[in-house]
Amino acid sequence: MFDRLTNPEYISAIILKQDDRYGKLKETARKEHELLHFISHEVKGHLSRSKAAFAGIVEGDYGPVSPPLDSMAHQALADTQKGVETVMSVLDEKASEKRRFDFSETVRRSVAGFQSDAARKHLELIPLVSDTCMIVGDERKLEEHVIRNLLDNAIRYTAVGSIQVVLRHEAGIARLTVSDTGAGISSDDMKKLFTEGGHGAHSKDINPESTGYGLFIAKQIVEAHGGRIFAYSDGMGQGTTFTIELPLG
C-alpha cells in the first residue's frame, strides 16, 4: 500500500480522476446556470407584459374603471414590479460589490420609500436613525433584500398601530431594529423563520404572495457581511421586532 501511495504514476492517476470529476461538476453547474438565466429571461418577459397591461389600466389608457378594479390594478402593478425586480436580481451576474458607505443614509432612504405604503394602511412609520453609521458591504443587496424585506413584512403583517425603525451603533456594531405592533409570531412559527421556504401557520392568510424565501435570503446576505439577524415576539397579536447587527467599517 505504501509503495502505491509513493508511486508517481498512481498519484497522477488519482489527480486526473479528481480533475475529471471536478470538470464534470463545473460543466453541470454551467448548464444549470444557463438554464436558470434562460427561464429568468422568459419570466421577465411575461412579467413585463403584465406590468404594461396593469400600468395601462392605472393610467387610464382603457378609459374609466370602477374603484375596485382601480384598486386591484394598483396592487397588481406593485406586485408585478416586485416580481420584475426579483428576476432582475437573479439575472444580475455581478459579484458582491463591497465598499464603505453610510448605512444611516441607506436606512433613511428605505424608510422614506415605504412611507406611502404605511400611510395607505393608516400606520405610523417612525425612523429613529443615527446621523452617520459607516459600514463596509454591498449596499444594494443590503437595501433591496434585507432592509426593504423587513419593512415590507412589517407593513403587511401590521393592521393597526405603528412601525418603529431604529439604527444605533456601539462597541463596533451597527444595530438596526424594525419593531411593529402587528400579528406577532408564535413560538412554533419562530422556529421556521429564516429557513428556506419557511412559512408561519397563518402567514398565507395575511400575505398570500409570500414565497417563504425573503427572510432566508436576508439571513444569507447579513451573514455574508459578518453579521447576524434574529427576531423576537411575545406571541400572536403582540407584534414583532427584527434585529440586524453588522460590524462597523
CA within 13 Å, CB half, 153: 29
Between vectors from CA 200 to CA 109 and to CA 75, what angle results, nearest 5°? Answer: 50
Cell numbers standing for residue 117? 405604503
**pLDDT above 60 for 3:** no
Q: For the ranges 6-20, 40-54, 234-248, which has the lowest average pLDDT? A: 6-20
**pLDDT above 60 for 214:** yes
Q: Tell me: the pLDDT tens digits for 153-210? A: 999 999 999 999 999 998 899 999 999 999 888 888 888 788 776 555 555 555 555 5
| Mean pLDDT calculated for residue range 111-126 | 94
How is the chain split into domains, by residue range? 2-91, 99-247
* The CATH homologous superfamily of the domain defined by 99-247: Histidine kinase-like ATPase, C-terminal domain (3.30.565.10)
Q: Percentage of residues in the chain with pLDDT exceeding 70?
A: 69
Q: Give the pLDDT of residue 40.
A: 61
User: Shortest CA distance to 146 belongs to which of 93, 214, 241, 225?
Assistant: 214
For cell 378609459, name the residue.
63
Q: Give the pLDDT of residue 2.
A: 45
Query: DSSP per residue over 94-162, as a string?
Result: PPP--EEEEHHHHHHHHHHHHHHHHHHTT-EEEEEE-S--EEEE-HHHHIIIIIHHHHHHHHHT-SSSE
Q: Give the pLDDT of residue 112.
A: 94
**pLDDT above 70 for 44:** no
Q: Give the pLDDT of residue 5.
A: 46
- Kindly report whether the global pTM for this prediction surpasses the value 0.85: no
Whether the Cβ atoms of residue 225 and residue 246 lie closer than 8 Å to each other: yes
Q: Tell me: the pLDDT tens digits for 59-113? A: 888 888 888 888 888 888 787 777 766 666 655 555 567 899 999 999 999 999 9
